[in-house]
Amino acid sequence: MKEVMQQYGSAAITVVAGLLLFVYIFWQADAGGTHGLMQISQKMAVLEQKDYTDYADAKETAEVIKRANPVITFQNIKVVTGKSYAIQDLFLGEDADGNEAELKILEIKGSRVGEQKVMNGTINFMQQGNYRIWVQATDREGKAARNIFTIPVVCR
């Protein structure tokens, strides 16, 4: 027996110490009476739900979300080839309060010419045909709307 203890004694002491440490960790109780490391850590991980509605930025965000989208309308003018048009010549952007919204051309495609470019803030339709124009309006609060318009372009 003496030989066994000399040979395996340190291993036995390590196992006993490990078991005691295991029991100590997993059978600890917190102040509320919850036992075990896993239950205590789960209890600590539960976050308190906080009401952010009284925060100033939450109110501002809610107002922007509730705002109506800007409205984009075509100016209903006769569009001819070879003439340059500013975006404001073709479209009107208006926010929920009736103020002017910022307009931007996202894309233009012609029925015969393919993709068209906006150069220096103006559009020049070189060929007659129907053009599809993707327009975005953004109000001062950052609320945006997008519309696609098909505009006929005729020869001068």
pLDDT tens for each residue of 58-99: 777 777 788 899 999 999 999 999 899 999 999 999 999 999
For residue 19, the model assigns a pLDDT of: 77
Question: What is the length of the chain?
Answer: 156
- Nearest-CA neighbor of 139 among 97, 105, 106, 107? 97
Predicted model pTM: 0.59
So where are the chain's domains?
2-46, 69-154
The stretches in the chain having pLDDT less than 50 are: none
Residues 92 and 75: their CA atoms lie apart, in Å, by 7
pLDDT of residue 39: 65
E-assigned strand segments in 38-128? 71-74, 79-80, 84-86, 91-94, 102-110, 114-116, 122-124
CATH class, domain 69-154, is mainly beta
Q: How far is CA 112 from CA 43, 79, 126, 150, in A?
A: 67, 16, 10, 13
Which amino acid is located at 125 in the chain?
Answer: F
pLDDT score for 149: 96
Give the pLDDT score at 45. Answer: 62
Residues 6+ apart with CB under 8 A from 87: 103, 104, 105, 118, 121, 123, 135
